[in-house]
Amino acid sequence: MNNRLKEIFGDRPVLCDGAMGTSLYARGIFINRCFDELNLSQPELVRSVHEDYLQAGAEIIETNTFGANAIRLRRYGLQDKVAEINQAGARIARAAVAQLADKQAGNAWVAGSVGPLGVRLEPLGKVGLDEAQAIFAEQIEGLVAGGVDLLVIETMPALNEAQQAIRAARAVAPELPVIAMVTVDEESRCLDGTAPEVAAARLAGWGADAVGVNCSTGPAAVLTAIECMAEATDLPLAAMPNAGMPRAVDGRNIYLCSPEYMASFARKFHKSGVQFLGGCCGTTPNHIRAMKSFLRASEAQKAAVQHSRSAPIVTETPPAPIEQRSRLGQMIHDRTFVTMVEIVPPRGIDCQKEIDGATMLAGLGVHVINVPDSPRASARMSAQSLCIQLQQKSGIETLLHYTCRDRNVLSIQSDLLGASSIGLRNILCLTGDPPKLGNYPDATAVFDVDAIGLVNIVRRLNHGLDIGGNPIGASTGFTIGCAANPGVPDIDNEVRRFAYKVEAGAEYAITQPVFDLRILESFLKRIEGFRIPVIAGIWPLTSLRNAEFMRNDLRVSVPDSILLRMQQAATPELARAEGIRIAQEMLETARPMVEGVQVSAPFGRYTAAAEVLAGILPGTSKSDKAQPASEGMQIG
């Protein structure tokens, strides 16, 4: 198929415009406004920006529609005006170009600007790929209706999002040329970790007519990325960097790269094979004018650039079979009934009590100790630290609970690589409790991904790849678990999320505490089509107040009959004993339905967990005594 951009521009360098937002801000539009909406309310203001860039020498101007998609416009209550805003943006730019043609012999083209959605897509986010493509298609339909000449898909942080935008463009307007650009970090990698040469090859394979880099941390990082891209594709290249990194000056973010500095990089970009040159945040008509002067003075022939047309080969390193990864993996594979006890990390640095408890439970025959990750958003010793100390000092295998609350995707990968390197083999992927539930309600949360995205990350690490598809060497080899809550009110959504977790790579599941076995049985029937081994949570209640907390605060289904039994216990001792009896009944009835149980050790009373397991563990008997209380699993 012929390259549509080459049919229009040949091989000559083409100058594009600079930042729309920077120019609008300079004209007094505050950053809390929806800049895209100005196409409707202040079209002459937008047109004046286009005209300034055309007068500076730009041959391609981008529409003021970078954020004009339904997700971003929803923040301003404008999601119903996607078509109207995009059509207006295209027509304003078209009018500016027409005026230029009337005044001088030169010609210019209108590019429809399509920016990112501003949310993560699956597998790391909640927006599906098909949904993203439909959102992009809605925006592109408006741009096409307004009369754009080409499309610029820009500032894409992740390749899967760029892919959906390109697919939408090809579906809506297969005849229009498409320039697809990613944004990179200081190390010149895409924000999802993808190497620029891999990005170039994939963007080309998906149907872009030109590929490149825009925005980012400034010209230097973009140049490095472009040089890598030039080795992976023979498509035209595009470079439109920010005018450096912004600096805070008198309360304003100022981009300090001078027009002359940007022009000097235009020369370097040109020598590296870039055909489409322009600017992003911080660039002004003065920057574009300086770059135009360079292009006029440049040699007619570009420096020869070798283009390798083969994309780098990425090889996976699959993990060992699940039965070889850990004792838990072996038991899951063999369908051996698993017994776990939960040990919560201490609030300080002394974990001797936890080590002693794990040693005692290991002697009784408990298979695995699982360790929550700051449950109820409380500040405690890290779960990873306690896991490794328990394994080293008690000899029992551990299961690391890992939440998405406190880490971005870079930190998540670093943590998991470290956990694998020090011998942790089992992981339970959780979204995590929000900070408002804990003692520090003003603490910030990250939640770059939820539990579904986390399972995807762990599965990729298990296959020797980071989230950008880059090889990491040896695979991590985790057994991957997820959470399930059979008693939530919106069970349809819970089942749907559970299916996504299984599809993402979960190999077993642990439920929230079970008090209503009818609900557990119903849930197990709902997941028959995608069933993985299920380990039932068992929670020995300590009092009526504890039971009410479980029902009302932790969203666990506690039947009225259980509340009545706890209410009828006359003393705290009788209440704890009744709680253990209830837990034993739950275990005995649930055992034929599931592949294992996780028993809480409330308030560090580990003998209470042992008593619940009496009759199952070889080292316990039903006469063992305990004093139960509890803490619990987090949001999954």
Q: Which residues pair with 237 in a beta bridge?
A: 211, 274
Rg (CA), the chain: 29
- Domain final residue, candidates 243, 263, 297: 297
- Domain final residue, candidates 263, 297, 331: 297
Tens of pLDDT, residue by residue over 482-515, are 999 998 888 998 999 999 999 999 999 999 998 9
Judge if 602 and 491 occupy the same domain: yes
Tens of pLDDT, residue by residue over 126-144, are 899 999 999 999 999 999 9
Q: What is the mean pLDDT of residues 2-16?
A: 86
Counting the structural domains of the chain, the total is 2
Note the pLDDT of residue 336: 95
Judge if 206 and 88 occupy the same domain: yes
Q: Is the separation of the CB atoms in 478 and 426 below 8 Å?
A: yes
Judge if 409 and 263 occupy the same domain: no
**What pairing do the DSSP bridges indicate for beta strands 246-249 and 252-255?**
antiparallel
3-class secondary structure, 611: helix
Note the pLDDT of residue 30: 86
Tens of pLDDT, residue by residue over 284-335, are 999 999 888 877 766 444 443 344 445 555 678 889 999 999 999 999 999 9
Judge if 363 and 471 occupy the same domain: yes
Q: Is the separation of the CB atoms in 123 and 452 below 8 Å?
A: yes
Note the pLDDT of residue 440: 60
Residue 315 lies in a domain: no
Note the pLDDT of residue 407: 84
Judge if 454 and 537 occupy the same domain: yes
476: CATH: 3.20.20.220
Judge if 169 and 124 occupy the same domain: yes
Note the pLDDT of residue 1: 42
Note the pLDDT of residue 249: 42
Tens of pLDDT, residue by residue over 230-277, are 999 999 999 999 886 655 444 445 555 778 778 888 888 988 999 999
Residue 632 lies in a domain: no
Task: State phi, psi for 121 to the nearest 5 degrees.
Answer: -100, 165
pLDDT band at residue 53 under the 50/70/90 scheme: very high
Residue 519 lies in a domain: yes
Q: Which domain holds residue 125?
A: 14-297
Ranges of H-type helices in 422-473: 451-462
Q: Which of 537, 610, 539 is nearest to 364 (CA)?
A: 610
Known binding-site residue numbers: 215, 280-281
Residue 311 lies in a domain: no
Known binding-site residue numbers for Zn(2+): 215, 280-281
Residue 303 lies in a domain: no
Note the pLDDT of residue 601: 84
46: CATH: 3.20.20.330
- Domain final residue, candidates 262, 297, 332: 297
Note the pLDDT of residue 634: 55
Q: What is the mean pLDDT of residues 201-208?
A: 95
Judge if 340 and 227 occupy the same domain: no
Compute the distance between CA of residue 68 and CA of residue 136 in angstroms, rounded to an integer.
10
Judge if 293 and 332 occupy the same domain: no
Angstrom CA distances, 522 to 487, 527, 582, stand at: 10, 9, 20
Residue 345 lies in a domain: yes
Judge if 285 and 366 occupy the same domain: no
Judge if 276 and 371 occupy the same domain: no
Tens of pLDDT, residue by residue over 361-402, are 999 999 999 999 877 657 889 999 999 999 999 999 999 999
Residue 393 lies in a domain: yes
Judge if 108 and 151 occupy the same domain: yes
Compute the distance between CA of residue 495 and CA of residue 482 in angstroms, rounded to an integer.
13
pLDDT band at residue 207 under the 50/70/90 scheme: very high
Residue 631 lies in a domain: no
Judge if 328 and 232 occupy the same domain: no
